[in-house]
Amino acid sequence: MLTLSGKQITFVLILVLAAAAYWYGSGKKESNASQYKTRNIERGDIIQTISANGTLTPVVLVNVGTQISGTVAKLHADYNDHVEVGQILAELDPALLRAQLQQSKANLLNAQVTLKIAENKLKRHRLLKEQAFISPEALEIVEQETEAARAQLAISKAQVERDQANLNYSVIRSPISGVVIARDVDIGQTVAANFQTPILFQIAKDLRQMQINISVAEADIGYLHIHQQINFTVDAFQHRKFTGLVKQVRLNPTIQENVVTYNVVAMVDNADGTLLPGMTANIHFVVAEKNDALRVPNAALRFQPKNIEANESGKTARATNQSTLYLLSANQPVPVPVTTGISDGNFTEILGAEVKAGDKVIISEVADKKESESKFKLRVF
């Protein structure tokens, strides 16, 4: 068994007493230290914004389809190609259409001959009628036959024009100058235009100017107006900020699960082609801005000492731009009623002369170091 001499016991007792004295002294100092974390009230700029999400789209996007059914025989455009108005994008197999046109032309020729025969017959019957060789009823029948032949000729002409138009439609041309951003057809594919026009290409008129379709909450729509500036980022370039201007605040609401939103359209310059269709934009609308404003951290407005309970009147005051700051004086929180202005989410403007720049405002309460230190020392010994 380990035994200690008298000197060793004395030495251990001295160490214990020294540690206890140190613990008592340090605990006393900590108890006198501030229990609150503070920040100085300062002056600075505040920009109040509204956050929303939107999607980048071309200003003009044209869906190019076909008005006739057929098989794709040739493709003359692909993704990202720049095309001019009237440029050929694709061709359908024209064989059947040409055959139909030839048949229509033959029918037209036949109708022309039939009408000529009917007109000659009518002339003869009119002469016979004048000489009283035929009855008026017989002449009337020939006149009706001639009118029918004339109508058939008109039908044949229309048929030729229709088949000629269909043959022309077999060549798909670009309706605008722009960039092909989508191609939804391949060579050999059959397209059917019986029920709806099939989309073959999507062409954006000019990607140097784009727009953002933004969904804005009902509570925020009152802050927005035409020509208002927006700031936004996209996930592909998170460290780059883009700007734009509000073009439209559309009146038609969108209601989903009793949530009302409005569509806002903003115009964006894209001269360098960085932004692409379909990108998600994280938008901030600038609704108010103050330079050199007296401001405090928002944490100071949220702070509530433990011995003061929040009540309903406090909630009402906050809603009417009235709030309470707690300044640190003689190591104690002193409440100061203040009127708040705009906020950027981090700082809030303080109006009036109740406080000034340089005042120490409490933003949080720190743990009691004496108690925690005591627990630590007790565990050690």
201-231 pLDDT, tens digit per residue, is 999 998 999 999 999 999 999 999 999 999 9
Residue 88 has pLDDT above 50, yes or no: yes
Q: Return d(Cα 318, Cα 339) in angstroms, integer.
A: 9
| Averaged pLDDT for residues 300-306 | 88
Across the chain, mean pLDDT equals 86
* Span 178-193, average pLDDT: 93
Return the structure tokens found at 83. Answer: 């095309």
Determine the Cα–Cα distance for residues 359 and 41; give it in Å rounded to an integer.
5
pLDDT in the model for residue 6: 56
Percent of the chain with pLDDT over 70: 83
Read off the pLDDT band of 16 (50, 70, 90).
low
Q: Distance of CA 325 to CAs 312, 321, 348, 353, 361, Å?
A: 17, 13, 12, 13, 7
Write the pLDDT tens digit of every residue in 89-100: 999 999 999 999
Is residue 371 predicted with pLDDT exceeding 70?
no
CATH architecture of 64-202: Beta Barrel (2.40)
Residue 91 contacts residue 73 (beta carbons within 8 Å): yes
The stretch 175-198 carries a mean pLDDT of 91
Q: How do residues 351-361 score in pLDDT, each as one tens digit?
A: 987 888 989 99
pLDDT of residue 264: 96
Terminal-residue alpha carbon distance, the chain: 22
Give 18: exposed, middle or buried? Use CB within 10 Å, 0-12, 13-18, 19+. exposed
Alpha-carbon distances, residue 23 vs 366, 369, 370 (angstroms):
20, 12, 9
Check residue 169 and give its pLDDT. Answer: 94
CATH 2.40.30.10 applies to domain 36-42+292-370:
no
For domain 51-59+205-291, give the CATH number: 2.40.30.170
pTM of the model: 0.66
pLDDT of residue 381: 40
Cβ atoms 328, 362 nearer than 8 A: yes
Q: Residue 345's pLDDT is what? A: 87
Give tens-digit pLDDT for 306-320.
766 544 434 434 445
Domain locations along the chain: 36-42+292-370, 51-59+205-291, 64-202
State how far the Cα of 310 lies from the Cα of 338, in Å rounded to an integer: 17
Residue 28 has pLDDT above 50, yes or no: no
C-alpha torsion 351→229→263→205, nearest 10: 180
